[in-house]
């Protein structure tokens, strides 16, 4: 492997690495040796000279190194191919026959920090979020073609976090012929049209699959309010579950049109959804209490830690309105996808909303990531989706 660049940590700063955390922050570094070019592979040592592992450097980022292995080994095609196969085994066991759309690689959760790969049938969508994975993009394209034999690979590295890595946003075809503007996927019997070029995230909210499916079992004969509905994922599942009435709120005209198309695609002719374009905060205040199930799946309110106070007020207001709108024994499916909003804080916010709404509330379940979005237990930052199912009395 030859001589690699290295960093040596300040005394005592090796503890997070020894406990399994994959990140080294620049403030923990005592000295650096060799070429620490963005994306370069190198080694990390403790203050007393103990080898801690090998990872990818980026001196322009606050996270100066992202660890890939704690062993002395060559990080070649065989190494990364092994990580890909390990990730695929998990999906094959947990998702076979349930859907043809899922996350293939989930960054740190699959021990490949900075790499996201989503599968939509025969199409793969790739995100390189770090300088290290950007440098290995060609290698991963070859590995993905060899293992999955996809029709196309499309890049959606058009995310603001790349700027923190000194990278421009990027999107476009990486492999295969030009992709259609939209195509169908299947999820637990539901059919959806996906746009990987312009859609949210890589085209669809794959991380809510199991939470959407859970609604089918409780929706029969119910009146549903789906806030921040986007293209109607939750609502379609309630429709297939036998909901009698569905109201959907979103600020995007295009999202509501796509949601309407999804009702036709799933042959839900007996239900004519009530589509409301507008700000969910304002629309909810104008509605009368009469719903059996309310779904709250807003965009992230706290993209930075400093946004938490404002985000907390936003989440409380939404949940307070939801409790106000629910019938007795109605169900609230409430979510937060804000990285900095931990479950304990989110639960306290929902509790405070229940108190202010004058409702007694039972917590029936906590919700989170599906199996194709695993989280490394040593890397709690990888857990961002928090959800609760509550029963309002």
Query: In 3D, which of 219, 193, 201 has the Cα closest to residue 299?
Result: 201
Cα distances from 385 to residues 58, 127, 173, 340, in angstroms, run 27, 19, 29, 10
Q: Please say whether the beta carbons of 124 and 176 come within 8 A.
A: no
Alpha-carbon distance of 301 to 60, in angstroms, equals: 27
Alpha-carbon distance of 59 to 62, in angstroms, equals: 8
Alpha-carbon distance of 53 to 43, in angstroms, equals: 6
Query: Given the DSSP bridges, would you call strands 223-227 and 291-296 parallel, antiparallel or unpaired?
Result: parallel
Tokens 């202010």 — which residue? 356
Alpha-carbon distance of 8 to 34, in angstroms, equals: 12
Tokens 């195509």 — which residue? 183
Alpha-carbon distance of 330 to 18, in angstroms, equals: 47
The catalytically annotated residue of 227, 229, 337, 390 is 337
Query: In 3D, which of 247, 351, 337 has the Cα closest to residue 295?
Result: 247
Edge-to-edge, what's the strand order for the sheet holding 274-277? 274-277, 245-250, 223-227, 291-296, 326-336, 386-392, 361-367
Q: Is 229 a catalytic residue?
A: no
Q: Please say whether the beta carbons of 125 and 206 come within 8 A.
A: no
Catalytic residues: 337
């Amino acid at each position: 492997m030859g001589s690699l660049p290295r960093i040596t940590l300040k005394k005592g700063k090796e503890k997070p690495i020894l406990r399994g955390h994959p990140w080294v922050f620049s403030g923990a570094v005592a000295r650096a040796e060799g070429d620490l070019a963005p994306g370069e592979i190198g080694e990390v040592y403790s203050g007393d000279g103990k080898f801690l592992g090998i990872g990818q450097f980026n001196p322009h980022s606050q996270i100066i190194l992202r660890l890939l292995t704690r062993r002395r080994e060559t990080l070649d095609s065989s190494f990364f191919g092994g990580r890909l196969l390990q990730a695929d085994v998990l999906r094959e066991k947990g998702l076979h026959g349930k859907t043809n759309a899922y996350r293939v690689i989930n960054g740190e959760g699959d021990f490949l920090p900075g790499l996201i790969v989503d599968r939509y049938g025969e199409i793969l969508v790739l995100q390189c979020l770090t300088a290290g994975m950007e440098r290995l993009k060609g290698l991963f394209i070859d590995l993905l073609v060899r293992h999955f034999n996809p029709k196309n690979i499309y890049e959606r590295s058009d995310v603001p976090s790349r700027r923190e890595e000194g990278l421009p946003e990027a999107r476009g075809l990486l492999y295969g012929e030009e992709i259609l503007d939209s195509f169908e996927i299947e999820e637990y019997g539901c059919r959806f049209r996906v746009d990987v070029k312009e859609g949210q995230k890589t085209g669809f909210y794959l991380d809510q699959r199991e939470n959407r499916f859970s609604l089918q079992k409780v929706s029969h004969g119910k009146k549903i309010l789906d806030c921040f509905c986007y293209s109607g994922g939750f609502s379609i599942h309630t429709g297939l579950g036998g909901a009698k009435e569905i109201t959907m709120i979103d600020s995007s005209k295009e999202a509501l049109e796509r949601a309407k198309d999804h009702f036709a695609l799933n042959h839900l002719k007996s239900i004519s959804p009530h589509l409301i374009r507008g700000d969910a905060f304002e629309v909810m205040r104008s509605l009368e209490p009469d719903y059996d199930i309310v779904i709250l799946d807003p965009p992230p309110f706290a993209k930075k830690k400093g946004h938490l106070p404002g985000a907390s007020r936003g989440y409380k207001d939404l949940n307070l309105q939801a409790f106000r709108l629910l019938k007795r024994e109605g169900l609230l499916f409430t979510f937060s996808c804000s990285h900095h909003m931990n479950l304990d804080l989110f639960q306290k916010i929902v509790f405070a909303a229940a108190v202010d709404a004058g409702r007694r509330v039972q917590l029936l379940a906590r919700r989170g990531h599906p199996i194709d979005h695993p989280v490394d237990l040593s890397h709690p930052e990888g857990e961002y989706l928090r959800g609760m199912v509550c029963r309002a009395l």
